[in-house]
Amino acid sequence: MPGFAAPPAHPSGATAPPIPPQFVPRHVAVVMDGNGRWANQRGLPRNEGHKAGEAALIEVMAGAIEMGIPYVSAYAFSTENWKRSLDEVTFLMNYTADVMERQLPTFQEWGIRIRWAGRKPRLWRSVIHRLEEAERATRDNDVVTLTMCVNYGGRAEIADAAAAMAADAKAGTLNPRSIDERTVQRYLDEPDLPDVDLFLRSSGEQRISNFLLWQSAYAELVFQDVLWPDVDRRTLWEAVEVYARRDRRYGGAVDRVAGPGASA
């Protein structure tokens, strides 16, 4: 990685498992779940769990770099999270902006490029400013791309794409009969973001929660029973090992005929 520093080694001395490159996911989507439960288990306010989760995100990015994973998308704030208490929403808005500023030196040092996916309406201008500032500052970094999904929802993204296509069709710049999956892709928040290979959720919950619905059509889902603040790069590596053992067929199938003397 010329020009960029490697992340410091894990304190335990653990190193990334030797997985052949063809079995390493290109794009990992991460649902950072369990912050509130982590805090409550310790008798702390929910916001303390969000604070503790910052280190977990940086650890996951270190693990992605060490494994050669080029894309990570993190679900930081969903379009549904506005339903939470005013105190928690206010904290998350301020904290997201602060994290982007506080971690910018690390992003630059490790070669992390920041992208932002999500809706501008309703999102605080201070958060938009910090996200866009991080995008500009890191646009030449090429080790790994971290897409921060803030005020993001998979259904909202698809609905916004449909509205934009309808507007272009009405204006005469898009032929409705020519619309296919590639057309829809061009209208998404980040058109060049590759499909998700590994969809990882912490906390033991087993749902995708409206995250990257279009991009995760053929993702391998891995749910881990660990709360997000307790996640580190080893958690990511364990998920990648599970992913590497999966048989990805993309809707295809091949008969596996038993040979002579083989058991059925």
**Closest by alpha carbon to 168, among 187, 181, 185, 154?**
187
- Which residue type occupies 225? D
* Residue 94 among the catalytic residues: no
Distance CA 258, CA 239 (A): 31
* Residue 232 among the catalytic residues: no
Residue of 47, 81, 142, 195 marked active site: 81
Contact 106, 54 (CB under 8 A): no
Distance CA 88, CA 10 (A): 31
- Which residue type occupies 8? P
Strand (E) positions, 91-141?
A: 112-117
For residue 220, list its beta bridge partners: 198
With tokens 């929403």, the residue in question is 89
- DSSP characters over 45-92: -HHHHHHHHHHHHHHHHHHHHHHT--EEEEEEEETTGGGS-HHHHHHH
Neighbours of 256 (CB within 10 A): 7
Q: Measured over all CA atoms, what is the biggest interatomic distance in the chain, rounded to whole angstroms?
A: 68
Active site residues: 33, 81
